[in-house]
């Protein structure tokens, strides 16, 4: 067994004070650092949203629309978001306290203005692979642990796609945070994850 860790979108715009803040998003950073330091993963993958300013998921590019309204993008249902993780801005950068080892592999997603990309593996239309599957399989990876932001969007879709690509997948619940933090929302996504074959775990540092 060879294992990879995928750290999803731990970027400034998803932190408190960011353009698309996830509540307590910054609270998971120390735990992710401890996890990386304490576990000998064979491969470390970090993802970053990397949107052009004209990205079609931004409400600002849809006259008359507001953030968090539903619309359509490239014939797909699309939540409209505040401008976030725009290329060349500090909002796109990793949280400054996140440890990103030199030997890690970075996936940039959401660069096509015509389709959003929640998953680290494919865009939302499932048409354009990121190359992550080929990379992980070339490294002999069989198992993937996933953490980061946000639990109910990019972590969720990354986990589902990882299973589809043939990996054994675990999501580390206490090292992720959701956009919509209600018992009903969390129960729904966890039912779907488990039903797809994802194991939901917690991780604690050995003292």
> Does residue 205 carry a catalytic annotation?
no
Q: CB under 8 Å to 166, separation ≥6 — which residues?
A: none
Report, in this order, helix, strand and coil percent for the chain, each rounded to 5: 30, 25, 45
From 13, 85, 109, 161, the catalytic residue? 109
Cα–Cα dist 85/133, whole Å:
24
Whether 109 is catalytic is yes
Q: Is residue 77 part of a domain?
A: no
The fraction of the chain above a pLDDT of 90, given in percent, is 93
174 within a domain of the structure (yes/no): yes
Q: Alpha helices, DSSP H only, in the chain?
A: 29-38, 132-138, 156-164, 183-196
Length of the chain: 207
- Tell me the pLDDT tens digit for each residue of 104-128: 999 999 999 999 999 999 999 998 9
Give the predicted TM-score (pTM) of the model.
0.96
- pLDDT at residue 206 is higher than 80: no
Tell me the two tokens of residue 27.
């609270």
Q: What confidence score (pLDDT) does residue 97 get?
A: 98
pLDDT of 207: 61
Residue 106 falls inside a structural domain = yes
Strand-pair category, 105-109 with 76-79: unpaired
The residues, any chain, with a CB within 8 Å of residue 16's CB and separated by 6 or more, are 23, 24, 25, 26
Q: Indicate the number of domains in the chain.
A: 1
Residue 34: CATH number of its domain: 3.40.50.850
Domain limits for position 186: 3-53+83-201
Residue 33 pLDDT: 97
60 within a domain of the structure (yes/no): no
Q: Which of 13, 50, 154, 170 is catalytic?
A: 154
* Residues pairing with 179 in the sheet: none
Give the pLDDT score at 40.
82
Give domain status of residue 101, yes or no. Answer: yes
Residue 75 included in any domain: no
> Does 50 qualify as catalytic in the annotation?
no
Mean confidence (pLDDT) of the chain: 96
- 145 assigned to some structural domain: yes
Whether 161 is in a domain gets the answer yes
Please state the rounded mean pLDDT for residues 128-135.
96
Which residues have a Cβ under 8 Å from the Cβ of 44 and sit 6 or more positions away? 4, 5, 7, 36, 101, 103, 104, 105
């Amino acid at each position: 067994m060879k294992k990879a860790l995928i750290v999803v979108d731990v970027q400034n715009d998803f932190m408190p004070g960011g353009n698309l803040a996830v509540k307590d998003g910054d609270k998971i950073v120390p735990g992710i650092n401890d996890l990386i330091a304490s576990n000998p993963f064979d491969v470390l993958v970090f993802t970053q949203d990397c949107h052009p300013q004209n990205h079609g998921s931004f409400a600002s590019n849809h006259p008359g629309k507001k953030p968090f309204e539903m619309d359509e993008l490239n014939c797909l249902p699309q939540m409209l978001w505040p401008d976030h993780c725009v290329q060349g801005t500090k909002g796109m950068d990793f949280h400054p306290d996140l440890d990103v080892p030199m030997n890690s592999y970075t996936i940039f997603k959401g660069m096509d203005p015509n389709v959003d990309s929640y998953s680290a593996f494919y865009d939302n239309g499932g048409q354009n692979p990121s190359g992550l599957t080929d990379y992980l399989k070339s490294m002999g990876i069989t198992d993937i642990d996933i953490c980061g932001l946000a639990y109910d969007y990019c972590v969720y879709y990354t986990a589902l796609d990882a299973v589809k690509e043939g990996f054994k997948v675990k999501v580390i619940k206490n090292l992720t945070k959701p956009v919509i933090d209600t018992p009903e929302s969390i129960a729904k996504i966890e039912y779907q994850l488990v039903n797809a074959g994802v194991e939901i775990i917690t991780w604690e540092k050995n003292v």
